[in-house]
Amino acid sequence: MTSPVLSVLLSTLVSTAPIAGPADAAAKPSTAAVGTSARGAQATREEQAFQLYQAGRFAEAAIEFEALWADFADPRYLYNAASSRFAVGHFAHAADYLARYLETPGLAADDRGDASGQLAAARGHLVELLITVQGPAEGASLTVEHVPELASDLRPPLALRTAFGETGGEGNTALDPGQWRVRLSAPDGREVTQEIAIRSGPSQELRLDLPEAEATPEDPPSMRPYALGFGVGGGGVALVGLGMTIGTSVRANRLLTGDEACTMEAATCRQRVVRNLNARAWGTGLLGLGLGSAAGGLTGLISDSKQRRTVWIAEAATGGALVIAGTASVFLGARISRGVTSPSDATWNDFAAWSAAFTDEGAGGASLHSVGGLLLGLGAGLTTSSVTALLLQRSGEGRSRRSTSKARLDVGASLSGIVLSGSF
């Protein structure tokens, strides 16, 4: 039940008026213009606010009424907060609250007259301030906040009701003499803050320059299409190379062991064996090329671009080393087996004798030749896919940053080994 003191103060400060509900957006200020909400019961908080007012502790009463207004949207609290601010000499806040209170639908004539008179009295203490905004400020909010000289001088920020366009605009307010902080905040996070000393006398002006919004860099293109292309394509090439390697190896082995009889001349039989062995080397080369390409493509599935770039650089370096090793193995294997695979001695007319000699002297060279093809293909696949990916990623990042920088990669050999340099 409301105490007798509370009943007297209610009738003294503001007569009973139609209570505006939360939906009355025109009458309710933004949360930036009110104090911190509390959790106590409404009646308890209301009585405490009036007791503070009766005791002449107007600043504390104002904070309580502002919190009540924020929590319950009862226009009586807004009027009482204005009266408290007026009593303590915070006329800018009193004027702002009274102006909002006068927007209450169905306000009684006596209440409107009292509020209008008090609003006029409050404005008589204020200094007009014209705020000019330059720059794209559509949707931006403008607030003013008193900069206190004493820690006990607590006043909530006031949100000005303004509308700015693409090129800026103007906003008007009236403030108490003293130091104020004006803050303009755009929806995209841009903000400009400036302090101004309000002095008694003629109106003042303030200009705020809101910078252009920074262009949001486009997301670098996804490397998944690249990963799909090289992964699937490399896998297909690897399967072809594997089939070719197995098929030619089996055919050459059957000829050498006699499981498949060769009824033609010995020279023709030798040529068939050598051709199958050379085809095996091509098969291992395709197998390596496919595996290397697939490995570089699958690296594109790594989500972190820096980690992805590091792996590709490592793959490119490894691929370059494998190309050198594979090339050396191919030539060395061919050199080792040349005396058997390219005989000049006419006595090699017995294919069985040649097969036995090849198994003893040339098989190792032929195997090294095939291994060299595998290393050469693997290195070529890794290098090609990795360098291509690095260039594509760099190109995409450059477009997203609107950069003119270019990617560069140099791969070469030196006496000490593989050399990889560049910028990505």
Helix, strand or coil for residue 143? Answer: strand
pLDDT of residue 402: 47
Give the mean model confidence (pLDDT) for residues 125-142: 92
Q: Where in the chain is the domain with CATH 2.60.40.1120?
A: 127-209
Give the mean model confidence (pLDDT) for residues 148-172: 90
Helix, strand or coil for residue 351? Answer: helix
Give the mean model confidence (pLDDT) for residues 116-141: 93
Query: CA-CA distance, 307 to 315, in Å (whole number)?
Result: 12
Q: Taking the mean position of all CA atoms in its chain, how far away is CA 261?
A: 68
Helix (H) or strand (E) holding 142: strand 141-146
Give the mean model confidence (pLDDT) for residues 225-231: 77
For residues 205 and 350, the model is more confident at 205
Q: How confident is the model at residue 409 (pLDDT cuts 50, 70, 90)?
A: very low
pTM: 0.50
- Are the C-beta atoms of 210 and 188 separated by less than 8 Å? no
Q: Where in the chain is the domain with CATH 1.25.40?
A: 4-123
pLDDT of residue 341: 55
When mean pLDDT is compared over 139-148, 284-293, 331-340, the highest value belongs to 139-148
Q: How confident is the model at residue 376 (pLDDT cuts 50, 70, 90)?
A: confident
Q: Which two tokens stand for residue 234?
A: 């490399």
- Are the C-beta atoms of 225 and 393 separated by less than 8 Å? no
Q: What is the mean pLDDT of the chain?
A: 78
- Are the C-beta atoms of 127 and 200 separated by less than 8 Å? yes
Query: CA-CA distance, 84 to 72, in Å (whole number)?
Result: 18
Q: How confident is the model at residue 224 (pLDDT cuts 50, 70, 90)?
A: confident
Query: CA-CA distance, 327 to 346, in Å (whole number)?
Result: 32
pLDDT of residue 81: 96
pLDDT of residue 49: 95
pLDDT of residue 7: 36
Query: CA-CA distance, 122 to 91, in Å (whole number)?
Result: 5
- Are the C-beta atoms of 380 and 330 separated by less than 8 Å? no
Q: Looking at the predicted structure, is the pLDDT value of residue 297 above 90?
A: no
Fold type of domain 127-209 = Immunoglobulin-like (2.60.40)
For residues 58 and 309, the model is more confident at 58
Q: Looking at the predicted structure, is the pLDDT value of residue 155 above 80?
A: yes
Q: Looking at the predicted structure, is the pLDDT value of residue 406 above 50?
A: no
- Are the C-beta atoms of 369 and 335 separated by less than 8 Å? no
- Are the C-beta atoms of 65 and 73 separated by less than 8 Å? no
Chain segment 241-276, per-residue pLDDT in tens: 898 889 888 877 777 776 666 767 767 777 777 787
Q: What is the DSSP string of 149-216?
A: SSTT-----EEE----BTTEEEEEEEE-SEEEEEEEE-TTS-EEEEEEEE-SSS-EEEEEEPPPPPPP
For residues 307 and 394, the model is more confident at 307
Chain segment 303-362, per-residue pLDDT in tens: 788 888 898 899 889 988 988 988 888 888 777 766 555 554 444 566 666 666 666 556
**β-bridge partners, 83:** none
Q: Cα dist. 34→158, 188, 247 in Å? A: 8, 24, 84
User: Could you tell me which of 362, 379, 367 has the C-alpha nearest to residue 285?
Assistant: 379
Helix, strand or coil for residue 145? Answer: strand
Give the mean model confidence (pLDDT) for residues 62-78: 94
For residues 70 and 368, the model is more confident at 70
Q: Looking at the predicted structure, is the pLDDT value of residue 18 above 60?
A: no
- Are the C-beta atoms of 375 and 389 separated by less than 8 Å? no
pLDDT of residue 3: 39
- Are the C-beta atoms of 76 and 14 separated by less than 8 Å? yes
Q: Looking at the predicted structure, is the pLDDT value of residue 25 above 80?
A: no
Fold type of domain 4-123 = 1.25.40
Query: CA-CA distance, 210 to 133, in Å (whole number)?
Result: 7
For residues 216 and 245, the model is more confident at 245
Q: Looking at the predicted structure, is the pLDDT value of residue 228 above 60?
A: yes
